Each structure stands twice: as structure tokens, then as C-alpha cells.
Amino acid sequence: MEVIQALIQQSAGVGVGIAFGSAVGFGLRKKRLGNSEGLISGSVFVTSAVCGSVAMAVMMAITYVGGL
């Protein structure tokens, strides 16, 4: 359990950064172009949350494998 908590703490910044960046990018695209294609359920928030979660999971895996 301690390993998972440490991995989450080390990888949280990457997840938040990717989520924020993708929210800005997808939000601008949806506002300027009116294009919601490729968004999950047509939602910028849901799509950016999924992007951040996936990025955090990948960073956790890389950190875990690198620590072995």
C-alpha cells in the first residue's frame, strides 16, 4: 500500500498537468471551431480527466519499473 501511495504522489503532477493542458486545448477547439468530435460524451472535462488519468497511470508504471 505504501508503494502505491508513493507512486501516486510522484506521478500526480504529470496527471494534473496533462489534464489541465488538454482541457485548455480541447476547450479552445470546441469554442473556436464548434467541433466536439473525438471528445468522450462530447465533454471537454471528461476527456481531459481521462487523458490525465492515463498519463498518471503511465508515469506510475514507468516510475515503478525504473525503481526495480
Place 6 in a pLDDT band, splitting at 50, 70 and 90: very high
Cα atoms in the 13 Å half-sphere on the side-chain side of 42: 2
Domain containing 34 equals 2-66
For the stretch 14-52, pLDDT in tens is 999 999 999 999 999 999 988 888 899 999 999 999 999
Place of cell 485548455: 24
Report the pLDDT value the prediction gives residue 54, as an integer from 0 to 100.
97
DSSP for 15-42, please give it: HHHHHHHHHHHHHHHHHHH---TTSGGG
In this structure, how many other beta carbons lie within 10 angstroms of the beta carbon of residue 22? 18
Report the pLDDT value the prediction gives residue 67, as an integer from 0 to 100.
78
Number of domains in the chain: 1
For residue 59, pLDDT over 90 is answered with yes
Report the pLDDT value the prediction gives residue 9, as an integer from 0 to 100.
94
